[in-house]
Structure 1
Amino acid sequence: MVQGKYAIVDIGSNTMRLVIYMREKSGRLKEIENVKAVVRLRNYLTEEQVLEDDGVNLLINTLHTFQEVTRHYKLDDVKCVATATIRQAINKEEILERVSKETDFAMRILSEYEEAYYGYLAVVNSTSIENGITIDIGGGSTELTYFANRKLINFHSFPFGALSLKKQFVKGETPTLEELMNLRNFLSTQFSTLDWLKNKKLPIIGIGGSARNMVQIHHEYVNYPLAGLHQYMMNVDEVHLINTYLQSLSFEDLQRVEGLSKDRADLIIPAVEVFESLMEFVGADKFVLSRKGLRDGVFYEKLTKEFGVTLFPNVIEESFYELATDFQINVNHVFNVTKTALTIVELLNKSGLVSIDKNDVNLLKRGAHVYNIGKYIDAESSSQHTFYLLANRTIDGLMHRERLIIALIASYTNKSSFKQNIRLFNQWFTKEELTKYRLLGAIIKFAYSLNATNRNIIKNMELQVNDDTLSFFIVCRTDFKPEQYQVEKQKKHLEKIVKKSIQVHFSYQQFS
C-alpha cells in the first residue's frame, strides 16, 4: 500500500487481471485501474496435470507487463493470487519459484476453500442477501457456497469451469444439440453429489466474468434503463431466454452480441448452461449478479480484520456512511430532519389520513439521509443530480428497484419532476406505490423546511385535523421566522397528496 492504494493480481484459468484500488475517505475501495489479459492458461495444462513451458512463459511474460504498471504506481506490496489451473498443476512449486525469481510478485496459490470463501465474503459484505447460493465459474473450476443468516454453511469446488467444459463437451465453436444434452446430464450428475444443494429454493448469486457477461447481454437485450450491474437481478425465465437466444446464433453473430466480451464468445453458452442447470437443481427463481468477487473478498478480509470482525454488521448502513462521507452530508442535520419527519409520520398515521408502515419508515429514513444530495454537484439543479446519482450509483445492499425508490424519494421536488423521473420505470411500480413514494418525498421536504437553518429549533409538534384542514402546532426554542418562510413555500406539495389545506402555527417558548 502506498498513498492509500491497494493492488491485486488475479491469475485465473482463463484471464489474468491486475486491479488497483484507491481507498477513499469513507474507507470504500474505488477501482482506478483494471488491466486484463486473456491468457487461457487452462489450455496449457496437460492431461497429466503439467502446466507446459509455453503456459509458464506466458504467465511470466504477462506478470512482467503487470509489473510495469505496478512500478509506475510505486506499489511494492501487491497481492498475487492464483486459482484452479496453478492449483491443479503438479509442477506448481517450480512455477512458484520462477514467479518469485523473475517477477516482483510473490504468488499465493489459493486452496479450494479460500477461493470459495473469498467469493462468499464479497457477496455478504456487498449485498443484503441473508441466505443464498453463490457460484463462481472460472476457466478451470466452479466454486459453490451455501450461506444462511450471512454465515458460510457449505462450500464445494468442482474441477470444471467454462474452458474445461468447452474443451470436454463442445468440439466446434458452438455446441450441437447432442453436446448440450451431454453437458446438461453431466452438470445434473455433478450437482447431485451435493446433498445440501437440492431444492434449497434460494437465490443464486453469480460471481465472475461469465455471470457478468450473461447479465450484460440481458441488460442490452431488454434496453435496461439503469446503469450498474452489481445486484442486477434476473428471474429464471429471463436466464432461459438469454440461453435460448445465444444458442440460436452462429459463432460470428455471437461475437457481435452486445454486452458479450468477444474473448468469451466460445465459452458463454457452456457457462449459461451451468447457471440455468443450477437454478433448476436448486429450485431458484432469482439470479443476482455480484460485481464483487474473489479479488474484493481478499480485501474485505483485510478491511474487516482492521475492525475485529469478519462481516460488516449492516451493509446498507455502511453504504450510507460512505455516501455521507463522499458527498459531505451533515449527519447531525440529517438526524434532526429525520426526527422531525418521523414525528410528522406518527401524527399523520394517528390522524388516519395515511398508512405508513415499518417498511415505509425505513425508506423515509434512507431518503432523508441522502435528500437533495445532488447539491454537492450543483445547487441550482440539485434535484436532477440527486435522482441521477442515486439511481445510477452502485449502493451495496440495495437492489436496483430499492435504489430507484430511494432516488425518487430523495430527489422529490414536485409532482411534475417526479413524473419525469419515473417516466422510464412506470411498469416497475403500481399507482399506489408511486403515490406512497410521493408522500414520503413530500414529508421529507416538509421536514427539511422545518429545519431550514440547521438550528434544531423544534421542541414539540402537534396536529389537529378538521374537515378540510390540517393544523400543525409547532413550539420552537428560538426565533422561527426562516423556518416559517420555508414551510409556507413547501407545504403545498404535502397538501396535494393528503388533499387538505395545511396551516402551520409557530410559537416560541423559552426553555431552560
Structure 2
Amino acid sequence: MKKQYYAIIDIGSNTMRLVIYLQERGGRLKEVENVKAVARLRTFLDLNNNLSKAGINKLVSTLNSFKDVLSVYQLKEVICVATATIRQANNKDVIKAIAEQETGLPMRILSEEEEAYYGYLAVVNSTSIETGITVDIGGGSTEVTYFENRKLIQSHSFSFGALTLKDFFANEIPTDEELEQLHSYLIAQFRTLPWLTERDVPLIGIGGSARNLVQIEQNMKEYPLAGLHQYKMYDKDIQMVNNYLTSLNPEKLPKVEGLSKDRADIIIPAIQVFHTLYQTIQAECFILSRKGLRDGVFYEQLSKEMGSILFPNVLEDSIQELINDYNLEPKQIMHVQYLTRKVFDFLKHNGIMHLDKNDWNLVKRASYLCHLGEYIDAESSAQHTFYLLANRTIDGLMHKERLMLALIASYKNKTVFKQFIQPYKNWFLKEERRKLRHLGALLKFTYCLDATKRQVVKDITIHRKKTELIFTIHCVGDWTPEEYQAEKQKKHLEKLAKMEVKLHFISAM
C-alpha cells in the first residue's frame, strides 16, 4: 500500500508550525514531522491593527522555509490555516494575497467558531472523555467549548491570548497586585458565559502553554512515566506551578525544566487563564490533550471518508494501531481472549476471585497486546512489553489506566511484576496491586495455552473438587508444547486460587 502523507501549516499569533502526518492502515493519522518557528506575528500589528510589512515578510519567509521540508514528502494534501492575528488584522485580505502569491500555498483564515470547533473535534477523537470543557489559549485569542456525550453544545472565542494578557504585567515576573488584576479581569470575562460556571466536569487544555504547564509539573514531581497526552492535574497542582514560577528571578525563568524559552514571558498569564477557568467551572480535574487545532482540521478531512466526524471508539482504534505496528496476529488474539474469558468467568462465578466488569475490560484490553515485546526480543519480551505500553500514548487511556494495561499484558512472574510496579507503588492500594498481579497471571496462563499460535487448544472445561481445580483441556493435534508451558505457569494460577490446579490435556476428536 502506497504511503499517504498529509501536511498542515498552522499560522498562530505566537508560533507557526508545520506538521506532517502519515495515514495508518486503520485510517488514523500518525505524526511523522513537526517543525516549529517562533514568528510572534502578534507583535507586528501596528496602531491601525494592520500587519506591518516586516510582519508579512516574516510570515512569507517562514512559509517558504516550511516548503523546503514539504518537498521531501510526496503529499496527498497540504492545508494552511491562520488564526487570531491574521483574522483580526484589518489588512487580512492583503496578507492572504501576498502570502499565496509568494509561496504558492493557499491560506485559509479560520473564523472564531471554526478554531473552537477544531479544538473540540481533536479532543473527542483522541480521548475517552465524554463530557468536558476545552480551553485553547493562543497568542491572540482563547477558545473554549463545552461538549456533552461527545457532542458540541457551546463554543466561544475570547479576544485575549497569552501575548495580549502579558500587558497586565510591567515585568515578566508579576506583582501580587498585577496577578489579582488579571485574575479579576479573567473572572469577569468567563462569567459572561453562563455555561462555563459550576460545571464540575474535566477541563481539557490544548496548545503549547498547556503542554508547558504539564511538562513543568512533571519535572517538579520527577514523574516516572513518559508522555503528556491525557495527563491529569488538579487545582493544587496548577497553583503549585504558578507559585514556583512567580517566585523566580526573571533570569531564571527561561531555564525552568519543561518550559520552552520562547514561552518564558507568556507562561504565567497562560497559567492564570487555566487556573481561573478551573475555579470558574469548579472543574473535576485538568487534563492535557496533545491533539489540538491541527489534528481537528484533519479529523474533519477524514470524516468525509468515514461519514462521521466522530471516531466510534477511540480506544479500540488506538489498540488496533498497536496491533498493526507490532504485527500481532488477530486470530491468536481472539483465541486467547476466548480461553481467558472461560477461566475468568469460572473464577468469578465460583467466588475464587472477586471480579467485575471493569476487571474483564482490563484483561480484555491486555489480551490484545499480550507480550507484544516479542516483536523486539523474545527473551526479554516482558520488559519490552511493559516499557512500550507504559511509555507510549494510547488514545482513550489516562496514564494510570495505561500503566495498569502494561502491568497485566507484560506479566511474567511475581518478582518481575514487583520490579515493574515499584516506581508506581504508591499509585495503588495493596489490594489493587494484588488484583493486577492476579489478572496478569491469569492472562499469562491462557496465553501459554496457545504457545505455538496454532490454536491447538479448542476449549476448556473447569471443575472444582474440594481444594482442587481440574482443567480439562480439549485439543486437536499435538499439544505437547502447550502442555509444557501451561504446567510451568500453573503455579501462578494456584497462588491466586489458593488451591491445587490439575491439567488434563485430551483429544477433542
> TM-score w.r.t. structure 1 length?
0.97
Q: 1:493 is matched with which residue?
A: 492
Q: Output the CA distance in 2 between the equivalents of 1:435 and 1:498.
A: 12
Q: 2:332 is matched with which residue?
A: 333
**Matched AA of 1:404:** L
**Matched AA of 1:252:** E
Change (3 A) 1:253 1:439: same
Matches within 5 A, 1:126-205: 126-167=126-167, 169-205=168-204
**For residues 302-329 of structure 1, what are the alpha-carbon distances to aligned partners after superposition, in whole Å with 9 as ceiling and x for unaligned?**
1232111110000000011111111111
Is contact 1:25–1:326 with CA below 8 Å preserved after alignment? no
**Matched AA of 2:209:** S
Q: Output the CA distance in 2 between the equivalents of 1:509 and 1:342.
A: 20
Matches within 5 A, 1:240-259: 240-259=239-258
**For residues 219-238 of structure 1, what are the alpha-carbon distances to aligned partners after superposition, in whole Å with 9 as ceiling and x for unaligned?**
10000000011111111111
Q: Output the CA distance in 2 between the equivalents of 1:279 and 1:10.
A: 27
Instruction: Give the superposition deviation at 1:459.
Output: 4.5
**Matched AA of 1:180:** L
Is contact 2:4–2:75 with CA below 8 Å preserved after alignment? no
SS at match of 1:386: helix
Matches within 5 A, 1:27-106: 27-73=27-73, 75=75, 77-106=77-106
Q: 2:226 is matched with which residue?
A: 227
**For residues 258-293 of structure 1, what are the alpha-carbon distances to aligned partners after superposition, in whole Å with 9 as ceiling and x for unaligned?**
000011111000000000000000001311000000
> TM-score w.r.t. structure 2 length?
0.97
**Matched AA of 1:13:** S
Q: Output the CA distance in 2 between the equivalents of 1:382 and 1:324.
A: 16
Change (3 A) 1:73 1:449: closer
Q: Which sections of structure 1, spanning at least 5 residues, go unmatched?
A: none
SS at match of 1:78: strand
Instruction: Give the superposition deviation at 1:350.
Output: 2.1
Q: 2:236 is matched with which residue?
A: 237
Instruction: Give the superposition deviation at 1:460.
Output: 4.1
Count of residue correspondences: 508
**For residues 90-113 of structure 1, what are the alpha-carbon distances to aligned partners after superposition, in whole Å with 9 as ceiling and x for unaligned?**
110001110111112111000111
Q: 1:297 is matched with which residue?
A: 296
Q: Output the CA distance in 2 between the equivalents of 1:347 and 1:467.
A: 15
Instruction: Give the superposition deviation at 1:72.
Output: 3.5
Instruction: Give the superposition deviation at 1:173.
Output: 2.0
Does residue 352 (structure 1) correspond to residue 356 (structure 2)? The answer is no
Q: 2:305 is matched with which residue?
A: 306
Q: 1:462 is matched with which residue?
A: 461
Q: 2:445 is matched with which residue?
A: 446
**Matched AA of 2:119:** G
Is contact 1:206–1:290 with CA below 8 Å preserved after alignment? yes
Is contact 1:15–1:37 with CA below 8 Å preserved after alignment? yes
**For residues 55-95 of structure 1, what are the alpha-carbon distances to aligned partners after superposition, in whole Å with 9 as ceiling and x for unaligned?**
11111111121112222435484211000000011110001
**Matched AA of 1:301:** E
Instruction: Give the superposition deviation at 1:479.
Output: 4.2
Q: 1:433 is matched with which residue?
A: 432
Is contact 2:4–2:76 with CA below 8 Å preserved after alignment? no
Q: Which sections of structure 2, spanning at least 5 residues, go unmatched?
A: none
Change (3 A) 1:479 1:46: same
Q: 1:18 is matched with which residue?
A: 18
Q: Output the CA distance in 2 between the equivalents of 1:22 and 1:82.
A: 22
Q: Output the CA distance in 1 between the equivalents of 2:67 and 2:329.
A: 42
**Matched AA of 1:374:** G
Between 1:462-471 and 1:158-167, the stretch displaced more is 462-471
Aligned CA RMSD, in angstroms, stands at 1.4
SS at match of 2:195: coil
SS at match of 1:490: helix
**Matched AA of 1:370:** L
Between 1:121-130 and 1:345-354, the stretch displaced more is 345-354
Instruction: Give the superposition deviation at 1:174.
Output: 2.0
Is contact 2:44–2:52 with CA below 8 Å preserved after alignment? yes
Change (3 A) 1:332 1:202: same
Is contact 2:124–2:150 with CA below 8 Å preserved after alignment? yes
SS at match of 1:69: helix
Q: 1:379 is matched with which residue?
A: 378
Q: Output the CA distance in 2 between the equivalents of 1:3 and 1:415.
A: 43
Between 1:174-183 and 1:260-269, the stretch displaced more is 174-183
Instruction: Give the superposition deviation at 1:450.
Output: 1.6
Q: 1:420 is matched with which residue?
A: 419
SS at match of 2:418: helix
Instruction: Give the superposition deviation at 1:492.
Output: 1.2
Is contact 1:236–1:285 with CA below 8 Å preserved after alignment? no
Q: Output the CA distance in 1 between the equivalents of 2:79 and 2:249.
A: 40
Q: Output the CA distance in 2 between the equivalents of 1:180 and 1:47.
A: 26
Q: Percent identity?
A: 57
Between 1:256-265 and 1:15-24, the stretch displaced more is 15-24
Is contact 1:477–1:509 with CA below 8 Å preserved after alignment? yes
Q: Output the CA distance in 1 between the equivalents of 2:236 and 2:386.
A: 30
**For residues 184-223 of structure 1, what are the alpha-carbon distances to aligned partners after superposition, in whole Å with 9 as ceiling and x for unaligned?**
0100000000011100011110000000000000010000
Q: Output the CA distance in 1 between the equivalents of 2:92 and 2:318.
A: 40
